[in-house]
Chains A and B, each alone.
Chain A
Amino acid sequence: TQLLEQSPQFLSIQEGENLTVYCNSSSVFSSLQWYRQEPGEGPVLLVTVVTGGEVKKLKRLTFQFGDARKDSSLHITAAQPGDTGLYLCAGVGTGFQKLVFGTGTRLLVSP
């Protein structure tokens, strides 16, 4: 069974602070996606990383895929209240199409 563990589970910070969310597994994934989910809504795709060692930037968000394609991180610079939400990593296993979701990180950014 493929599992994705995220840490931390909860994070409460002040506006302007930086943070990093980690997504770890003992399994190899062909690609890894990051989503943000807000209450009452479905997850919204932020980024997909495919190549081991790949780094992608989306404004203040930086995503990295581990060299061995087993782990990933999300770094947010100068967090804003609008970044508040549930962050989910999700991996696509080799040879399969379905997503394996991480355990989630709930982020609260206070003004």
Chain B
Amino acid sequence: GEEVAQTPKHLVRGEGQKAKLYCAPIKGHSYVFWYQQVLKNEFKFLISFQNENVFDETGMPKERFSAKCLPNSPCSLEIQATKLEDSAVYFCASSQSRQDYGYTFGSGTRLTVV
């Protein structure tokens, strides 16, 4: 389809619990990005993939965050042992190639850690 599908839309976790978010990029798009939006405006880059390979992971808090993009499966972002500060909206975006500067964003997953 022509949209980036993110699930679930909302996720509530107790502090210390695991959270797993999913993203199905647009078919044919080879790049996938994860961003965290906090305080309504601020976007923080987490990680990007070129197909199933990690392209740039400079934004990932590696001790608790991990991500995968496996063939024929939705991409996933997993947070082990969630903390209150992980509460945010997590967006996934995909794009066709390095020469295509347009990104298509999903509608996000709102994670609330209580």
A24 close to chain B: CB less than 8 A: no
How far is B98's CA from A31's CA once the two chains are assembled, in angstroms?
12
* Interface SS, B side: strand
Residue pair B41, A42 in contact (C-beta under 8 Å): no
Q: How far is the CB of B109 from chain A (nearest CB, A)?
A: 10
How far is B104's CA from A97's CA once the two chains are assembled, in angstroms?
14
B65 close to chain A: CB less than 8 A: no
A98 and B48 in contact, given A42-B91, A42-B105, A45-B102 (Cβ under 8 angstroms): yes
> Which of B42, B93, B101, B104 is close to A48, meaning CB atoms less than 8 Å apart?
B101
Interface residue total, chain A, C-beta cutoff 8 A:
24
Within 8 A of A (CB), among B85-102: 91, 93, 98, 101-102
Report the interface size class on chain B: 20 to 34
Residue pair A97, B105 in contact (C-beta under 8 Å): no
Q: Can you report 26 A-B residue pairs in the complex whose CB atoms are below 8 A from each other?
A: A33-B103, A35-B105, A40-B107, A41-B108, A42-B91, A42-B93, A42-B106, A42-B107, A43-B105, A48-B102, A86-B40, A86-B41, A88-B41, A97-B31, A97-B33, A97-B48, A97-B55, A98-B45, A98-B56, A98-B59, A99-B43, A99-B103, A101-B35, A104-B41, A104-B42, A106-B41
B contact residues vs A (CB 8 Å cutoff):
4, 31, 33, 35, 40-43, 45, 48, 55-56, 59, 91, 93, 98, 101-108
